[in-house]
Structures are given as structure tokens and as C-alpha cells.
Chain A
């Protein structure tokens, strides 16, 4: 009888087959895209193509097998969607490499070094870290023990680019750390560490943060002394803005903290307070810093500055216009007209060559990815896991919103990488670690575990109330 048999409860399918099918589909898209670029640009199929394709396939397969082995019940969507985004990024970077090489050839300039192989190497490193994260973090709840260590390490990494000698300023933003020949953006790693810290901190402190002391306009506002963390988060993100001149990262951290505070306490007053703080910060930054001021002026009227500060955004808009509904076709647009086409503006290149149809598909992929992360947050039972999964998904969501909004001129442009797509190692690696953590949490959420309760040590065994 089904009713009395607890075994019948555990037949939750693992859905690993669906994951494999989607991964193969993603890989096939990458092969087709690369071939199309080869044919359309007259480059043909370069010899290294098949090696590259095989390596990407092998990396995807390794991740699939590790998920099968270590997180059997994980969400089947997360891995293939992230893989497809990475593959689309590789394809687009290859496309821009080809365009740059052809331009150099026309100008009789020495051919530039292609970026796609560096990105592929970073993808391999990301896969190694993904596998390591899944193997080392057997249970995400263990991460809660290191709340404050993560917080301190995160802050340390955040200020690291300001350090003498190793800190490097590129294009006006002090974001990079260069040790030897290697450079990376510590803020990308700090993003994960600070999410871990916020999650751990808010789980413990949420009750006092949810306390209502004063009622104003029908909304309960927290006590003044509980504002501390909010003020600190605000100050830190402003500090990043002032000293590292990085608008994107500062926006990301502030947005992340406010949303997590809201999720933890379920108080709308935090959102309102956060918006007020944001408005103050934004106004101050606009008044005090020239680069912020510039960004806003260009955003409001890019055409006036089309040859100077607005060149990038105007080229990006031309790209989207050239793409139209169905896109120019891979290899048939002019993506390298936009400076930084393979990092900040990769979305513009995709918009041009794949058109509105491709952009919608791309944004849907992001939406699905973020929804699956939030789904894991809703269904996992422990509150640390809930906050962590929600925070990680929101990091991705904010990043996509800030950069895609900037490139399409919905909001002022701020430099952030597009998750998984952009050329850049630190971002790719960090986002893959986020996916590993989300997979770990979703595995915990969906695992049909039969826990054995013992009334005697029930206090330690029971699932804590959220």
C-alpha cells in the first residue's frame, strides 16, 4: 500500500537525463555558431576549431558527470543554461576576434592576439573550481560557520586593488590586481564572499532587524540602532565608488544588500529606506564625481557626444538597429565598431548579429537561470540556504539588469561584466562558482531525504524553523 510505505515518497526523479540532453543542445548551438562565423566571414573552418569544440564538449561533460556523482537531485536547468551562456560568449568572442583580425589585415597591422583561447582557458579553470566547490562543499549549511571570515575576506578583497604595487588602474577604474603576469578582479570573488556573509549575518540578526519601532505613513520602520548594517553597506559601496571609481560594483553591492535585507525581514520599509539612501548616494555622486556626471549626461543625450564620450553607446545602439528583428547573422554584422565589444558590450554584439529574436532568447535564458536559483531558495528548508540562494540569484539578476540596461540605454551605463558571456576570467570563474553553490543548494532542496528523528536528540536533529 502506497500510503504506508515511506519508500514511495523517495521516488523523486533526478532529471539528469534532461540535463544531458540540454547540454548536448547547447554544445550543438556552439558548433553551429562557430561554423556559421567561419563560413560567413570567409575564414573557413580553422584547424583549431575541432579541438576547441571537443574541449568545450569535454568540459561540459565533466561538469555533468560531477553533478551526477555529487549532486544527483540538483536542478536540471542550472547547468545547461549557464553552459549555453558561456558557449554563446565563446562564440561571440571568437566572432569579435575574427573581425579584429580582418580589420588588422586590411590596415596591414600585425594581427591581434585572439581572446577566445584565453577565455577557453578561463572556462577550464572555472570548471575546475566548479568541480572543487561541489566536492568540497558537501552541505551548504557548513558555510554558515565562516560567516565573519567570509565577510572580512570579502572586504579585504574589495579594497585589494587600492594596494600599492599590485593594484592596477585600467580605463580609469581601479579594479584589477596584477601579480606577475596574472591579473584578476577581486571584486568578483568578493561578490560571492559578501553574499555568504550577508546570508549568515541576516539569518542571525533578522529578528531584531524586523522589529518595528516607529510607524510612519502606514509602514513600520526599524529602530535607529538597527540601521547600522545598512549604513555600513552604503558607506562601503560609496567607498568603492569613490576610491576605485567603479560604479557598477558599487551599485551591485548596495542592491544586493537591500534585497537580502528585504528577503530576510520581509519589511518593505527596508526597501524604502534603501531607495532613499540610494537616492542620496546617487545625487552626491552625480554632484561630486565627474565620471558619474559624464555617464548621466551621455545617457540622457548620447547623440550630442556621439564622437567623444558617447561613441560607445551610440555605436551599440547602431548595432542593435542594424540587427533588427532577426539579426544580421553571425559573422555578418560589424560588432567591432563598438569599443570593448567583447567585455562590457558583448550584448550589443549579440543584439546586432542575432537580432531581437536572439536577445529575447538570451534574456529568457537569464530569467530562467535566475528563476531556478530563486526556486532553490524557496524550496530549501534552512534559512541560511534560502538567503544564500536568493542572494546569489539576485547578484546575477542585478548584474544582467545593470549591464543590459546600460548597453540598451535604459539606465546610465556602468561597467559590469555580463555574467558568463563577457570576456574576462575573474567574472567567468566567479559566476561558475555561484552556479556550483546554487546546484548544491538545489540538490539539498530537491533531495527526497528520509531523515530519522529520534525523540531523544531531537533538538539537534530537527530541521530548524525558518
Chain B
């Protein structure tokens, strides 16, 4: 085998080795972007906040489940029956969220007058329905984003 051919093979080997490294990094990069796109609230499919008029009408309709749409528990479905649901970092909460921005006992969702009501339990960073921080027990409209720390939940029918 000639010297030239061997040099070429040598360079080809190093080239292929680096190609592998670059491919790996390419996969990594796509991988980092992927979850954001699949998240329903991600760039690809922006969430439209329900119009206030619609909220008022929907408020009378009882939801049957809470769905986590954002945060570490994304995709989790919490069926609602008659019991209250507590949200927080405390291990005995119904929905335990691992989030430094959430308090141990952050909020609770309980049924009242044919609707689901959210009450903030004195959390540090507050409980938000859409863009509004709630200070008193507030009716949770179907479809509105309920934000606790970095987690977003949604009441669904």
C-alpha cells in the first residue's frame, strides 16, 4: 500500500471519528429542542387564553379532570370526583410537584356550587389563573391555565 493511500486512509479515519462526534452533537442539539416543541404550550402550538366572556359562561360547567400541561409532571391527569385536590411540594399533597417555585402547601382545588374553586394556601409565589394572581377562593373556569410555580394545570371536561 502506497504512502499516499495510507495517509488518506489515516485522515479518513480521523474524519469519520469527528463525523461521529459531530453527529452526536447534532442529535444532542435536536434532542434539547424537541421537548419544547412537543409540549402543547410550546412555540409550535401557542395557547390562547380563553376570552373573559367565555370564561364566565364556562364557569358553570364542572370539569371532570385536571391535566398538567406544563412543568415536570406534564401529561399527568388527575380525575376529579368529590374530594378536594391539594397541590404543593409536601409529600402528602394530592399533586406533589417538585419545583423550587412552589410552596409545600401551595393551593387547593375543591368543589363548591357546581364548580371547582381554587384557593391559594398562603404560597410564596402565588397561584395564578391565566395572568391574574388570586387572593381569594376563585372559580376555576374550564380550559383556563392554573399556574402553580412552574407547573400549569388545566381543568378539563
Residues in chain A within 8 A of chain B (CB atoms): 2-6, 8-13, 15, 18, 21-22, 25-26, 28-29, 32-33, 35-36, 39-40, 76-77, 80-81, 84, 326-327, 329-330, 332, 354-355, 357-358, 361, 364-365, 368, 372, 381, 448-456, 458-459, 462-466
CB atoms of B76 and A450 under 8 A apart: yes
Distance, CA A219 to CA B135, complexed state (A): 38
Chain A contact residues: helix, strand, loop or mixed: helix
CB atoms of B27 and A76 under 8 A apart: yes
Residues of A within 8 A of B10 (CB): 36, 326-327, 329-330, 332
For residue A456, which residue of chain B has the nearest CB?
B83
Interface assignment of B56: CB less than 8 Å from any CB of chain A = no
Residues of B within 8 A of A12 (CB): 34-35, 38
Pick the most buried of A2, A15, A332, A465: most chain B CB atoms within 10 A of its CB: A465
CB atoms of B14 and A326 under 8 A apart: yes
Interface assignment of B61: CB less than 8 Å from any CB of chain A = no
Q: How many residues of B contact A (CB 8 A)?
A: 59
Residues of A within 8 A of B53 (CB): none
For residue A38, which residue of chain B has the nearest CB?
B1
Chain B contact residues: helix, strand, loop or mixed: mixed
Given contacts A4-B156, A32-B16, contact A464 B96 (CB under 8 A): yes
For residue A461, which residue of chain B has the nearest CB?
B94
Residues of B within 8 A of A459 (CB): 92
CB atoms of B38 and A32 under 8 A apart: no
Residues of B within 8 A of A29 (CB): 13, 16-17, 20
Given contacts A13-B34, A453-B79, A465-B98, contact A40 B20 (CB under 8 A): no
For residue A84, which residue of chain B has the nearest CB?
B20
CB atoms of A455 and B21 under 8 A apart: no
Q: Which of A6, A327, A332, A357 is B18 in contact with, Cβ under 8 Å? A: A357
15 A–B contacts, CB within 8 A, in A order = A3-B40, A12-B34, A12-B35, A25-B20, A26-B20, A329-B7, A357-B14, A358-B14, A451-B77, A453-B94, A454-B79, A455-B79, A462-B93, A462-B94, A465-B97
Interface assignment of B134: CB less than 8 Å from any CB of chain A = no
CB atoms of B24 and A4 under 8 A apart: no
0/1 interface trace, chain B 114-152, chain A, CB 8 Å (1 if under): 000000000000000000000000000001000000000
Residues of A within 8 A of B112 (CB): none
Residues of A within 8 A of B77 (CB): 6, 450-453
Which 6 A-B pairs give the minimum distances between C-beta atoms?
A329-B10, A9-B75, A453-B78, A39-B1, A462-B96, A2-B45
